[in-house]
């Protein structure tokens, strides 16, 4: 059993959106979503798959999709003229099987026309076009009218074709008029129909269209005097205020910038605010310009009536006085409606009461609230028909009578004379009667008909009252009719497939209908009973009665957090909360008799016809023929029952118009908005019904190809390979032969289901029964649970195969990795040895280069030192002033002096480098390099420049004023060549560059 919570459904198919992508592709037979022309081909049938299919087709510019017996029409919001060409109409009309062509509204039109032509029982046909305003209902009805004008006209009779075109044009012209007077801007739609419409296309015995008739249901006339927040009044009031000329404004007393209480949100400009289109359509329907001006003058008077305000009177015996700014409005209202001003004001302020057997008349002043109520009743009385028509002792329903009898009264022309039947009607209904009088055919001139029903969609606003209750009640009735018809279509499909099927378990909305209209106690009966009781109604008391009397209904809810009295009804499209405040008053729809007598005094031509003087007051029935009270709910229920009788006597067809987005943009598909419309029009419930039966439908070939591997689990069959369809080499095989080959495979697969089901529920033998599955002639029908069992078994087999494949793959990968590791070790060892050898070679080469550079530098330094020697004669080592023999040196000291002489360049560099030794170590290095004498320091004095500024260069040019003394060097051993000798200590001669002074001996 399916359940709905807040308008969203939950059930066995609620998890459909979680299916894997490969499973969805299999269930969809690997076909792209935009190629699925029927939503029943979408597997599984879930909200997500349906939305994805509609979105894919909409993006591919495919706007019509079948949904079983329903056609879903998406509004493209752009001109698509190639879809409605006369050539395409003729193609669908001439096709042997139109249902095999692409889905189109012409398919539905041709099917209804062929059913009428072939006299299939029931002969009469009906097309229910539903959807929100702006979803394309008007365009769909218009296209169907054009289609019937082409196919239902006699090809040999030019007169018959002209008659069909004239009827089509007049019906199309009736749309702007009825939309202007019956549509309004609501919270959800800018052009919401506030009434229902049934168009009857009349055909003669030759199936040629000879006439038509229009029937309306439940006009929301309370909108004239009461508009919800952010909503507007009927379009016609805004059209006359925005489109009237200067002269008409003066005539109707509608100055520029005038404000009216019953004209909210006038700054909003809609596409429907086109006054010229409405006037032209009325002219084509036979309403001439003077009559139009008369109608608009009365409507302008209703706007001024809304500005009439009363002040509360402190004395109950005195009537309420007008507000200061309302006196001018009363004067203007009386002028426009041609009424005397004083009786008009008195009627609104004072109530007339008749009591006793003598029918004595009492006059009682009304309170402020009662004055406002009488003012609103006056506006509704002029705009729409009252509930009760007295004078004949019976209730009159123009809708309830048989169609021929009702149409026989709609005769005559309206341009020059007012129709006689207008005494039964008011302004809106009079306009409908004018349309019928211009397009209706004689009763004996037609035999069958095709009906087009344009109904309002399911409504749920923040504030819902009696109007929404009636609208949703009508949708519940139509939904029940649709569900019953859809179940018959499913029964036929199951019968064709040879299934033994008895009933589909689905959520029947009969419980909700019993709550609304059931007997003996229901919401409607309780509201009507409150109207019959002679006591003031209380919203809290009505809520208490409904909750206590209907507490056992599962479709009745209550919001405990609500401060205002209300009750909740759980409809098929979701729960809706209805406020009980004002519910009884709207259901009574009281019309004080003094208001009718007041309008009968009018001198206006239109009001004189709508309120003739011979019509008796509604509240003056004789004591012998007192009639029961007729309420809005009772009237609407009666008209709805009559409509359902018409639909039950016809073959119904359904077109669901969907608005992809509320902005009217092409190529824009908003999933949330589409989903809410699918729920409101009942398509979601259709999906649920399909899902409650056998939502998964797979062809035999695809079933065997996917689940053939389950034969591995069957102990009596061989798990060897198979070929379901030997296409290669056997292309000439017949379908019966292929089907015969598939039957054993299907039986083997189905025999595995008990074992799979038992494995799925090992602890509960009761649940181990075979899943619900049926093998038809061409398809396998199964439920979601069966699909889960099959997928689980398939996953088990695939897991076993995957484990074998994974084991082999792991062994192969392990061996491969081992071989790669050994190869890597060998490669790494070879590379390391090569890198080591290369490093050693680089070190050896670097050492050789350094050695050769050092040798070259030493030779160059020796050469430079020899060139810079003084011009003194060189002496031998044994001629030195201090002989070595007199000062014998130890062997260690001799080696140290030899090392110092050999390493004197390095010491010189370290002593004069920018970065190196500092302080005392530097002095020691300099002293060791220069080998200054240690014997008598007073013998000579020398000052070196190394201690001051350092030696810049051996070859540096003199800086500043210096004197070059060429004398014997004071250095020891300066006359000895600086060649290394192991037996003597040699020195060197160095030119000292002095900046300040030269040292003297």
Counting other chains too, the contacts that 457-462 makes at CB distance below 8 Å and 24 or more residues apart are 457/130, 457/131, 457/132, 457/677, 457/680, 457/681, 458/571, 458/573, 458/679, 458/680, 458/681, 459/188, 459/576, 460/7, 460/573, 460/574, 460/576, 461/186, 461/187, 461/188, 461/228, 462/187
Helical (H) or strand (E) element with 352 = strand 350-355
| CB contact at 8 A, 611 and 599 | yes
Helical (H) or strand (E) element with 125 = strand 125-130
DSSP E strands, 727-864: 773-775, 779-782
Flag whether 136 is marked binding: yes
Query: Does residue 520 have a cis bond before it (omega within 30 degrees)?
Result: yes
Query: Does residue 961 have a cis bond before it (omega within 30 degrees)?
Result: no
Report the alpha-carbon distance of residue 425 to residue 415 in Å, rounded: 17
Instruction: Give the 3-state secondary structure of 942-970.
Output: CCCCCCCCCCCCCCCCCCCCCCCCCCCCC
| CB contact at 8 A, 88 and 52 | no
193 strand-pairing partners = 183
CA-closest candidate to residue 272, choices 195, 144, 143, 175: 175
Both tokens of 980, joined, read 């290394």
The 3-state DSSP class for residue 775 equals: strand
* DSSP letter for each residue of 830-885: HHHHHHHHHHHHHHHHHHHHHHHHHHHHHHHHHHHHHHT--SSPP--GGGSSS-TT
How many residues in the chain?
A: 1001
Beta-carbon contacts of residue 654 (< 8 Å; ≥ 6 apart): 69, 70, 71, 127, 128, 130, 482, 485
CA 308 from chain centre, in angstroms, equals 45
Both tokens of 474, joined, read 């009508």
Beta-carbon contacts of residue 551 (< 8 Å; ≥ 6 apart): none
Flag whether 135 is marked binding: yes
| CB contact at 8 A, 615 and 449 | no
Flag whether 138 is marked binding: yes
Q: What is the DSSP letter of 30?
A: T
Locate all alpha helices (DSSP H) within 497-559, ordered by sequence: 510-517, 523-532, 539-549
| CB contact at 8 A, 654 and 70 | yes
Report the alpha-carbon distance of residue 475 to residue 426 in Å, rounded: 26
Report the alpha-carbon distance of residue 532 to residue 526 in Å, rounded: 10
Report the alpha-carbon distance of residue 693 to residue 440 in Å, rounded: 45
Flag whether 732 is marked binding: no
130 strand-pairing partners = 656
Report the alpha-carbon distance of residue 933 to residue 926 in Å, rounded: 13
Report the alpha-carbon distance of residue 686 to residue 40 in Å, rounded: 10
CA-closest candidate to residue 215, choices 231, 229, 202: 202
Residue with tokens 């002040």: 311
Flag whether 134 is marked binding: yes
Flag whether 137 is marked binding: yes
CA 934 from chain centre, in angstroms, equals 108
- Tell me whether residue 487 is exposed, middle or buried, using C-beta atoms within 10 angstroms of its C-beta: 0 to 12, 13 to 18, 19 or more: middle
CA-closest candidate to residue 445, choices 280, 284, 205: 205
| CB contact at 8 A, 750 and 773 | yes
Report the alpha-carbon distance of residue 702 to residue 779 in Å, rounded: 9
The 3-state DSSP class for residue 982 equals: coil
Report the alpha-carbon distance of residue 552 to residue 765 in Å, rounded: 36
Binding residues: 131-138
Binding residues for ATP: 131-138
């Amino acid at each position: 059993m399916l359940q709905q919570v807040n308008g969203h459904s939950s059930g066995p198919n609620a998890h459909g959106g979680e299916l894997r992508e490969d499973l969805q592709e299999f269930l969809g037979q690997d076909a792209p979503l935009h190629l699925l022309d029927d939503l029943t081909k979408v597997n599984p049938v879930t909200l997500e798959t349906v939305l994805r299919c509609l979105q894919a087709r909409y993006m591919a510019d495919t706007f019509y999709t079948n949904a079983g017996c329903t056609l879903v029409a998406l509004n493209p919001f752009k001109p698509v003229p190639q879809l409605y060409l006369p050539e395409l109409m003729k193609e669908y009309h001439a096709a042997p099987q139109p249902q095999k062509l692409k889905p189109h509204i012409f398919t539905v039109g041709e099917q209804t026309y062929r059913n009428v032509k072939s006299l299939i029982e029931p002969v009469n046909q009906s097309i229910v076009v539903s959807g929100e305003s702006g979803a394309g209902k008007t365009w769909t009805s218009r296209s169907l009218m054009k289609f019937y004008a082409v196919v239902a006209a006699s090809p040999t009779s030019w007169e018959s074709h002209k008659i069909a075109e004239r009827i089509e044009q007049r019906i199309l012209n009736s749309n702007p008029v009825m939309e202007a007077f019956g549509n309004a801007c609501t919270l959800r739609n800018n052009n919401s129909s506030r009434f229902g419409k049934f168009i009857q296309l009349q055909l003669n015995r030759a199936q040629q269209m000879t006439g038509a008739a229009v029937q309306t249901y439940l006009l929301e006339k309370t909108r004239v005097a009461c508009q919800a927040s952010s909503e507007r009044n009927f379009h016609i009031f805004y059209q006359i205020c925005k489109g009237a000329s200067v002269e008409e404004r003066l005539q109707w007393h509608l100055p520029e910038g005038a404000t009216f209480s019953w004209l909210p949100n006038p700054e909003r400009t809609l596409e429907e605010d086109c006054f010229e289109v409405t006037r032209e359509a009325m002219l084509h329907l036979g309403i001439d310009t003077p009559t139009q001006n008369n109608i608009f003058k009365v409507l302008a008077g209703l706007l001024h009536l809304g500005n009439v305000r009363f002040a509360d009177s402190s004395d109950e015996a005195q009537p309420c006085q007008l507000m200061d700014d309302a006196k001018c409005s009363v004067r203007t209202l009386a002028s426009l409606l041609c009424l005397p001003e004083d009786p008009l004001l008195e009627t609104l302020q004072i109530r007339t009461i008749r009591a006793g057997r003598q029918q004595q008349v009492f006059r009682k002043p009304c309170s402020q609230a009662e004055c406002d109520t009488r003012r609103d009743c006056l506006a509704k009385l002029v705009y729409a028909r009252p509930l009760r028509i007295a004078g004949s002792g019976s209730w009159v329903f123009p809708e309830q009578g048989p169609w021929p009898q009702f149409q026989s009264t709609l005769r005559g022309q309206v341009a020059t004379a007012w129709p006689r039947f207008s005494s039964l009607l008011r302004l809106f209904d009079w306009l409908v009667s004018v349309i019928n009088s211009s397009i209706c055919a004689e009763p004996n001139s037609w035999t069958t008909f095709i009906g087009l029903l344009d109904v309002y969609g399911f409504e749920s606003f923040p504030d819902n009252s009696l109007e929404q209750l009636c609208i949703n009640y009508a949708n519940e009735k139509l939904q029940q009719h649709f569900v019953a018809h859809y179940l018959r279509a499913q029964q036929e499909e199951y019968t064709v497939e040879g299934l033994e099927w008895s009933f589909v378990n689905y959520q029947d909305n009969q419980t909700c209908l019993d709550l609304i209209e059931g007997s003996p106690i229901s919401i409607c009966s309780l509201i009507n009973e409150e109207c019959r009781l002679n006591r003031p109604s209380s919203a809290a008391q009505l809520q208490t009665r409904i909750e206590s009397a209907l507490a056992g209904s599962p479709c009745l809810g209550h919001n405990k957090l609500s401060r205002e009295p209300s009750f909740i009804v759980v409809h098929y499209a979701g729960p809706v909360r209805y406020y009980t405040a004002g519910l009884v008053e709207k259901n009574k729809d009281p019309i004080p008799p003094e208001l009718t007598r007041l309008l009968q005094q009018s001198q206006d031509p239109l009001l004189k016809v709508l309120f003739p003087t011979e019509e008796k007051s509604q509240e003056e029935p004789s004591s012998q023929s007192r009639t029961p009270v007729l309420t809005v709910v009772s009237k609407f229920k009666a008209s709805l029952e009559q409509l359902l009788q018409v639909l039950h006597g016809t073959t119904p067809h359904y077109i669901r118009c969907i608005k992809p987005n509320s902005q009217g943009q092409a190529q824009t598909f908003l999933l949330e908005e589409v989903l809410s419309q699918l729920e409101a029009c009942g398509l979601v419930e259709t999906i649920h019904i399909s899902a409650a039966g056998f939502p998964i439908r797979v062809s035999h070939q695809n079933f065997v190809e996917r689940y053939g591997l389950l034969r591995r689990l069957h102990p009596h069959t061989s798990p060897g390979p198979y070929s379901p369809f030997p296409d290669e080499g056997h292309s000439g095989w017949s379908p019966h032969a292929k089907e015969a080959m598939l039957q054993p495979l299907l039986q083997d697969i189905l025999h595995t289901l008990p074992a799979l089901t038992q494995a799925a529920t090992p602890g509960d033998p009761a649940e181990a029964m075979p899943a619900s599955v049926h093998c038809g002639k061409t398809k396998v029908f199964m439920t979601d649970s069966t699909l889960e069992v099959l997928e689980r078994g398939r996953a088990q087999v695939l897991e076993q195969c995957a484990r074998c494949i994974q084991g082999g793959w792991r062994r192969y990968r392990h061996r491969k990795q081992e071989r790669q590791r050994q190869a890597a070790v060998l490669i790494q060892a070879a590379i390391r040895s090569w890198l080591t050898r290369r490093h050693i070679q680089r070190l050896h080469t670097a050492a050789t280069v350094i050695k050769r550079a050092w040798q070259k530098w030493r030779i160059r330094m020796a050469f430079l030192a020899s060139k810079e020697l003084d011009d003194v004669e060189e002496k031998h080592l044994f001629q030195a002033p201090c002989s070595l023999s007199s000062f014998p040196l130890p062997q260690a000291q001799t080696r140290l002096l030899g090392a110092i002489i050999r390493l004197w360049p390095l010491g010189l560099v370290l002593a004069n480098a920018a970065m190196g030794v500092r302080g005392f170590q530097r002095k020691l290095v300099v002293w060791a390099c220069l080998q200054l004498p240690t014997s008598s320091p007073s013998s000579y004095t020398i000052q070196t420049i190394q201690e001051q500024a350092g030696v810049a260069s051996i070859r540096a040019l003199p800086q500043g004023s210096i004197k070059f003394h060429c004398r014997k060097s004071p250095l020891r051993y300066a006359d000895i060549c600086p060649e290394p000798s192991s037996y003597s200590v040699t020195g060197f001669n160095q030119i000292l560059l002095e900046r300040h002074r030269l040292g003297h001996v």
